[in-house]
Structure 1
Amino acid sequence: MSRPLLFLDVDGPLNPYAAKAQRRPEGYTTIRPTVGPFRRPLRVWLNPSHGPALLGLGYDLCWATTWMAEANRWIAPVVGLPELPYVDFGAGLFAYRPDGVHWKTEAIVAYAQGRPFAWVDDEQSPPDSVYVSTHHPGPALLHHVDPRVGLREDDFTALTAWSAEHRR
């Protein structure tokens, strides 16, 4: 029986970047990595309990984030995840699509290669659901997470239930 993939975004689900700036959420720690084109320190809030919870969901985890390989350096150790594979968005990073499909969607579907997957992000929209249902032959769950609160118990419950239904 193989496990479905879980494509995991960082900013929004793991780092509730839209929470009140002066108030770190309870249970979170702050890191200030210098990543990205400007090499300015970012304020990132991470919850160390998320890694073990994600590992217990019954998925094969994969980063689907602008952090790409940097997620293994900065995010994984803080939340308690091992080094994970990642979707390499390459030249598609932030590429505008006139059809409203998120710039990550096509690469995620290609990476999945028909395998069941859940995608945890704060930026999916109806055009992404249409694209996935049209271009991906396997089951897929696009699970939206509120970037003001990040992953919560309800999210873990929903992801656990979906994983149990879609193992093959």
Structure 2
Amino acid sequence: MTGSGLPLLFLDVDGPLIPFGASQGYRTYEDGPGLRETGVNPLLARIDPSHGPRLAALPCELVWATTWMDDANDAVAPRLGLPRLPLVLWPEPSAEDERDERDGLHGKTRALVHRAAGRPFVWVDDEITDRDRAWVAAHHQGDALLHRVDPRRGLTDADFAVLDGWLGRVGAVGRA
């Protein structure tokens, strides 16, 4: 799961791991670590603990790319059975960032490309647009997959198949 030669996987929490926005109810996983404690965010019960081993098995270095910041390590990682993961530290927005966001570029896009520093990466989020894909293609030297997850369902088997397939191809090229 870790190693500087592996592609990065930037992982958002809300949407990919905590589904939201559907008209029907959500499956919950009540027996996870810490859920019975008072004051725990009830949305954590929507996190499917089986995603943890599946994420850990991907040939990549997992990195939190979420506004949850270190709360992702404190509250989400234990539910998934993952160790503490590195996280992207979001810079203070600049005038250029604000202009880009008005033009449809996600506020995370520049920071993720900067953090990747030319390494291959996957970005898993529910807010990725074609504008983000075009910007990354124009500004990132390495391979990149911007994978949009449907926030109403969160990560699915189909999403894991795409991630595993892409990471396997990119990793094989990197090892050749």
| TM-score, scaled to structure 1 | 0.86
Q: CA deviation at 1:99?
A: 2.2
Q: What residue ranges of structure 2 are gaps of 5+ in the alignment?
A: none
Mapped to 1, the partners of 2:43 and 2:92 lie a distance apart of 26
Mapped to 2, the partners of 1:34 and 1:68 lie a distance apart of 19
Q: Is the Cα contact below 8 Å between 1:33 and 1:43 reproduced in 2?
A: no
Mapped to 2, the partners of 1:105 and 1:131 lie a distance apart of 8
Equivalent position amino acid for 2:53 in 1: P
Identity %: 47
Q: Which residue of 1 aligns with 2:7?
A: 4
Is 1:87 aligned with 2:91? no
Shift of the 6–136 alpha-carbon distance from structure 1 to 2, 3 Å rule, reads same
Per-residue CA deviation, residues 19-42 of structure 1 (Å, 9 max, x unaligned), is 346x2326x34859969xxxxx55
Shift of the 13–75 alpha-carbon distance from structure 1 to 2, 3 Å rule, reads same
Per-residue CA deviation, residues 90-112 of structure 1 (Å, 9 max, x unaligned), is 4239x642221000000000000
Q: Which residue of 1 aligns with 2:146?
A: 142
Is 1:106 aligned with 2:129? no
Shift of the 34–68 alpha-carbon distance from structure 1 to 2, 3 Å rule, reads farther
Is 1:13 aligned with 2:34? no
**Structure 2 counterpart SS, 1:133:** helix
Shift of the 130–72 alpha-carbon distance from structure 1 to 2, 3 Å rule, reads same
The structure whose Rg is larger is 2
Greater share of strand: 1
Q: Which residue of 2 aligns with 1:78?
A: 79
Root mean square deviation, CA, Å? 2.4
Counting matched residue pairs gives 160
Q: Is the Cα contact below 8 Å between 1:101 and 1:128 reproduced in 2?
A: yes
Mapped to 1, the partners of 2:82 and 2:6 lie a distance apart of 17
Q: CA deviation at 1:3?
A: 1.3
Shift of the 105–16 alpha-carbon distance from structure 1 to 2, 3 Å rule, reads same
Shift of the 88–53 alpha-carbon distance from structure 1 to 2, 3 Å rule, reads same
Mapped to 1, the partners of 2:86 and 2:93 lie a distance apart of 18
Greater share of helix: 2
Q: Which residue of 2 aligns with 1:38?
A: none
**Structure 2 counterpart SS, 1:75:** helix
**Structure 2 counterpart SS, 1:166:** helix
Q: What residue ranges of structure 1 are gaps of 5+ in the alignment?
A: 36-40
Equivalent position amino acid for 1:137 in 2: Q
